[in-house]
Chain A
Amino acid sequence: MTAILQALADGAVIAKRNVIKIKRVPEVLMFVLISPIMFVLLFAYVFGNSIDIPGGSYREFLIAGIFAQTVVFGATFTGAGLAEDMQKGIIDRFRALPMSRAAVLIGRTASDVVYNVLSLLIMALTGLAVGWRANAGFVSAVAGFLLLLLFAYAFSWVMGYVGLLVPTPEVINNASFVVIFPLTFVANTFVPAENLPTPLRVFAEWNPISAVTQAARELFGNIPPGTPEPTVWPLQNPVAYSLLWVVAIIAVFAPLAVRRYRKMANRR
């Protein structure tokens, strides 16, 4: 128990340090915030007008998908941040301190929530500007955002682990593209899953990112009336299914990442 409390306390110190660094290097933050705006606008105007959704607006359908994809991609920062920490001398300092072996990871995954909160905020504002509305009430909308953040948090443990595996921070962007791009595309993020060829459809139906997107759509009240009911359990119970994945991902990747951190030989 004390070990967990200490890990959290040390993690908080590291998170604070990371947040200071975000403020000191505002260029990174700028890109983090500009790309979601770009995404919302591109999808809304390029695809939003050309794809028809029975009984509803494709633009509204899209928004939750863009949110989900963007926050999941946000996990790349966790991998990149850790890979960078590992490469810089500061990690030798941390590793020789009597601090928790989980603290650097706990702190990093926590501070990266800041990126996702900001990018969700920016995307929501941009969405509102192009006509998106959360139709299910304020509380429900907040629940939708929280679920997105929670899933993104869990996913950042995956990329955090990858970040400890790669030799240099530069590799992480490609690694994340290879992992995240298919995951977020073979899903119901941008097109209804029913329209996909069978193998992809099955993958999409059980893909946790579909469930997260579906959950967010429901909580934002963005499911057009007349949309056929989903036929698979994950999409019928998207919130429960998403939360299950959150727990499973953290249960698997947090210990993996911490073990990797422990065993990390210093690289000089």
Chain B
Amino acid sequence: MGICHTGSVDWALTRDGEGVHIIEVSGLVKRYKNVTALAGLDLAVPKGTILGLLGPNGAGKTTAVSILTTLIEADEGSAFVDGIDVAAEPGRVRERIGLSGQYAAVDQDLTGFENLDMIGRLYRLGKRRARERARELLSVFDLTEAADRSVKTYSGGMRRRLDLAGALVARPPILFLDEPTTGLDPRSRIDLWGVIRELVAEGATLLLTTQYLEEADRLADDIVVIDHGRGIAHGTADELKEMIGGERIEVTTPDHSQIDDARSVLAEFAVGDMRMDPKHGTLVVPITGGAPVLTRALRALDSAGIEISDVGLRRPTLDDVFLSLTGHAAEESEVSA
């Protein structure tokens, strides 16, 4: 599948024939007084997959999630969740979704258990089932010890986890997680990734927003990069990386005069134009084949008697993708909002 890099693309069309779309959004527009939060967003998420919505601060991620979860209404465009029009039948949408918003939506005065128990009751699980489910989730999210303390005493990460547990109470088939791992420590983050993967393995469909490129890379089957309220790129992590170039070997020689020799030695490994960075004495050689090719290249350099001071196999990260697409890095883009 190709990668789209235009202002507005009909994802629904490009995705046709890949099965049912559990989430389908087209031309979504949301305006606030001075800002256009969404400027014609299109999304399509096939059943049982994870879509990563990747974008800098103010890109419109939360706005999109809020519309899809019936919290706010769009000004233009359409959104369907499980085939149900979000604007026309929000009540039926709510029966199918779980939401964990960007800011933990938990009651500070209640205990963790009471929070989940209440949510279970509101999903009409019944008294017994609600309690069991609350205990179950508290243990999944490693909160059993804090279960009967008021949430006021929780750390930020604990609140975050409790909020995520809240989204899962009714085992909804469709999940919306708005920056689910923001504020979690690395271990909790990895644990959560595990939980998310399990959910999807059980058949859930998930829309996840994130500013962490690594997270989208690890979790998402499909990534839509948004900026200023519209999708600016779409594809798998690999496809997006491909877009700005594949793997490459970067070689630095201590003696700059040797860089030309290195160039002729490595020519046989190159799959595209080699680039020279004379300032640092670095040669960039596009390759395919990864580490084994790197090993062979090093041997070749060695037998040619070329000394090297630094060498690396570099794969483009989503950070690179992001930078090249939006012209700014994910983390430092508040100004553009």
User: A residues engaging B (CB < 8 A)?
Assistant: 6, 9-10, 13, 16-17, 20-21, 24-25, 88-99, 103, 265-266, 268
Find residues 87-111 in chain B having any chain A CB closer than 8 Å to their own CB: 91, 94-95, 97, 99, 101-110
Cβ A17 vs Cβ B107 within 8 A:
yes
Cβ contacts under 8 Å, A10 to chain B: 122
Known: A90-B106, A93-B105, A98-B94. A20 touches B166 (CB 8 A): no
In the bound complex, how far is the Cα of B73 from the Cα of A21, in angstroms? 31
Interface string of B50-93 (1 = CB under 8 A from A): 00000000000010001001111100000000000000000100
B328 interfacial by beta-carbon distance below 8 Å: no
25 contacts between A and B (CB under 8 A): A13-B121, A13-B122, A20-B110, A20-B114, A21-B107, A21-B110, A24-B150, A88-B108, A89-B103, A89-B105, A91-B105, A92-B71, A92-B103, A93-B101, A93-B105, A93-B106, A93-B119, A94-B122, A95-B70, A97-B119, A97-B123, A98-B95, A98-B124, A266-B71, A268-B103
In the bound complex, how far is the Cα of B107 from the Cα of A265, in angstroms? 20
Cβ contacts under 8 Å, B69 to chain A: 96
In the bound complex, how far is the Cα of B97 from the Cα of A9, in angstroms? 21
B118 interfacial by beta-carbon distance below 8 Å: yes
Label chain A's interface by main secondary structure.
Answer: helix
In the bound complex, how far is the Cα of B103 from the Cα of A91, in angstroms? 11
In the bound complex, how far is the Cα of B108 from the Cα of A95, in angstroms? 18
Query: A145 to chain B: closest CB distance in Å?
Result: 29
Measured as residues with beta carbon below 8 angstroms from the partner, the interface class of chain B is 20 to 34
Find residues 114-166 in chain B having any chain A CB closer than 8 Å to their own CB: 114, 118-119, 121-124, 150, 166
Cβ B119 vs Cβ A89 within 8 A:
no
Cβ B101 vs Cβ A92 within 8 A:
yes
Cβ contacts under 8 Å, B114 to chain A: 17, 20
Query: A22 to chain B: closest CB distance in Å?
Result: 9
Minimum-distance CB pairs A-B, first 8: A93-B105, A89-B105, A98-B94, A98-B95, A96-B99, A13-B121, A99-B122, A21-B109
Cβ contacts under 8 Å, B72 to chain A: 265-266
User: B residues engaging A (CB < 8 A)?
Assistant: 62, 66, 69-73, 91, 94-95, 97, 99, 101-110, 114, 118-119, 121-124, 150, 166
Cβ contacts under 8 Å, A21 to chain B: 107, 109-110
Cβ contacts under 8 Å, A95 to chain B: 70-71
Instruction: Give A266's nearest chain B residue, CB to CB.
Output: B71
Question: Which of B97, B110, B124 has a CB less than 8 Å from the CB of A96?
Answer: B97
Query: A55 to chain B: closest CB distance in Å?
Result: 51
Cβ contacts under 8 Å, B94 to chain A: 96-98
In the bound complex, how far is the Cα of B102 from the Cα of A268, in angstroms? 10
Q: Interface centre among B73, B91, B110, B118, by most A CB within 10 Å?
A: B118
Query: B183 to chain A: closest CB distance in Å?
Result: 14
Instruction: Give B71's nearest chain A residue, CB to CB.
Output: A266
Query: A139 to chain B: closest CB distance in Å?
Result: 36
In the bound complex, how far is the Cα of B123 from the Cα of A103, in angstroms? 12
Question: Which of B91, B106, B166 has a CB less than 8 Å from the CB of A98?
Answer: B91
Known: A93-B119, A99-B122. A25 touches B101 (CB 8 A): no
Cβ contacts under 8 Å, B119 to chain A: 93, 97
Cβ A266 vs Cβ B66 within 8 A:
yes
Cβ contacts under 8 Å, B101 to chain A: 89, 92-93
In the bound complex, how far is the Cα of B126 from the Cα of A9, in angstroms? 11
Instruction: Give A93's nearest chain B residue, CB to CB.
Output: B105
Cβ contacts under 8 Å, B97 to chain A: 96
Cβ B103 vs Cβ A13 within 8 A:
no
Cβ A89 vs Cβ B104 within 8 A:
yes
Question: Which of A17, A92, A98 has a CB less than 8 Å from the CB of B110?
Answer: A17
